[in-house]
């Protein structure tokens, strides 16, 4: 290939990726940069990091941050554990139950979030139908709605189908011959899982973790309708700061800080993928 042809292909490649790059620049990069610039404005009129210091100095904001991280970590752990178990079961089991799970586990993805949240409120509320049903047997339902448990249950409902779909695709890509070869040399079920199945699905596992983490930490509908008044998740707190107290600069600082939290996991994911690609080459 001549230098002229290589240059033409490079220019053509830049032209082809430019629309997606411009869209990313307008929709993501510029708003993030604008939020950071706005967050640097101090109440005195100067420029500084006082808005970010407030996130850690104020007890209410610290409680919101800890509450958000706790909800996010617990939700991610439960979602991935349940999703991985379902993907394994659907990959290596047969029968009517497996067929039923395959046909129904995607249904929550097609139910709008507001409707699903309203349904959970009617189901699990203090005066919901489950509470009334259990009272017939003398069982009192613990507080779930307007509590962190309600947010976690909603996160399970919203994220398990998507994570299961990703992990199921990874399980389907594992050749049966590899698993049979491991069995032929005497490997048990645990050895096959930790030495064959999990390493081959680890990349997809990281993808699912990244999407679930970002979806939970930035969620608003379920925490707003199902969560307590205090502490609050960062999305709800941001809306209160911006919509109620009209503190645009502080809301921008909170938004940019949330972006940094998501970027930390994104960096870990990209670094892991880069190391995997380097090991292959």
The CA distance from 98 to 87, in Å, is 10
Alpha helices in the chain (DSSP H): 3-24, 30-39, 50-57, 59-92, 96-104, 113-124, 129-135, 148-172, 176-184, 189-192, 198-217, 221-226, 234-239, 248-280
Which of the pair, 74 or 9, is modelled with greater confidence?
74
Of residues 251, 254, 249, the one with CA closest to residue 42: 249
Please report whether residue 3 resides in a domain: no
**Total domains in the fold of the chain:** 1
Query: Do residues 171 and 201 make contact, with C-beta atoms less than 8 angstroms apart?
Result: yes
Note the pLDDT tens digit of each residue in 15-38. Answer: 777 787 788 778 778 888 888 888
Confidence (pLDDT) at 183: 85
DSSP character for 227? S
Note the pLDDT tens digit of each residue in 61-118. Answer: 999 999 999 999 999 999 999 999 999 999 888 888 889 988 899 999 898 888 999 9
Please report whether residue 33 resides in a domain: no
Please report whether residue 21 resides in a domain: no
Please report whether residue 24 resides in a domain: no
Please report whether residue 11 resides in a domain: no
Note the pLDDT tens digit of each residue in 107-157. Answer: 998 988 889 999 999 888 888 888 888 888 888 888 888 899 999 999 999
Task: Tell me the residue range of the domain where 115 lies.
Answer: 59-280
Please report whether residue 261 resides in a domain: yes
Would you call 249 helix, strand, or coil by DSSP? helix
- Tell me the pLDDT of the chain averaged across its residues: 87
Please report whether residue 52 resides in a domain: no
Please report whether residue 84 resides in a domain: yes
pTM above 0.95, yes or no: no
Of residues 205, 206, 108, 120, the one with CA closest to residue 158: 108
Q: What is the CATH number of the domain that holds 234?
A: 1.10.3720.10
How does 80-90 read in b/e, with b if 16+ C-beta sit within 10 Å? beebbebbbeb
The CA distance from 46 to 40, in Å, is 8
Question: How many C-alpha atoms does 145 have within 13 Å on its Cβ side?
Answer: 16
Query: Do residues 119 and 199 make contact, with C-beta atoms less than 8 angstroms apart?
Result: no
Query: Do residues 240 and 257 make contact, with C-beta atoms less than 8 angstroms apart?
Result: no
């Amino acid at each position: 290939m001549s230098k002229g042809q290589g240059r033409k292909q490079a220019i053509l490649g830049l032209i082809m990726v430019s629309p997606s790059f411009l869209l990313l620049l307008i929709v993501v990069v510029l708003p993030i940069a604008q939020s950071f610039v706005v967050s640097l404005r101090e109440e005195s009129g100067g420029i500084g990091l006082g808005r970010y210091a407030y996130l850690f100095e104020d007890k209410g904001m610290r409680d919101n941050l800890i509450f958000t991280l706790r909800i996010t970590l617990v939700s991610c752990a439960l979602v991935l554990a349940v999703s991985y178990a379902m993907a394994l079961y659907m990959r290596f089991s047969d029968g009517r139950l497996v067929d039923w799970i395959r046909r129904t586990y995607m249904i929550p993805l097609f139910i709008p979030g507001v409707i699903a949240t309203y349904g959970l409120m009617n189901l699990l509320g203090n005066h919901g139908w489950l509470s009334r049903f259990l009272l017939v047997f003398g069982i009192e339902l613990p507080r779930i709605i307007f509590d962190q448990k309600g947010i976690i249950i909603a996160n399970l409902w919203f994220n398990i189908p998507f994570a299961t779909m990703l992990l199921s695709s990874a399980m389907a890509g594992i050749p049966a011959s590899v698993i049979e070869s491991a069995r032929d040399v005497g490997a048990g079920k645990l050895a096959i899982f930790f030495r064959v199945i999990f390493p081959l699905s680890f990349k997809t596992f990281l993808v699912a973790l990244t999407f679930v983490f970002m979806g939970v930490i930035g969620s608003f509908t379920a925490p707003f309708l199902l969560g307590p008044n205090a502490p609050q998740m960062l999305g709800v707190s941001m809306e209160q700061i911006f919509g109620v107290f009209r503190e645009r600069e502080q809301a921008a600082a909170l938004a940019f800080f949330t972006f940094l939290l998501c970027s930390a996991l994104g960096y870990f994911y990209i670094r892991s993928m880069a190391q995997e690609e380097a090991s292959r080459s």
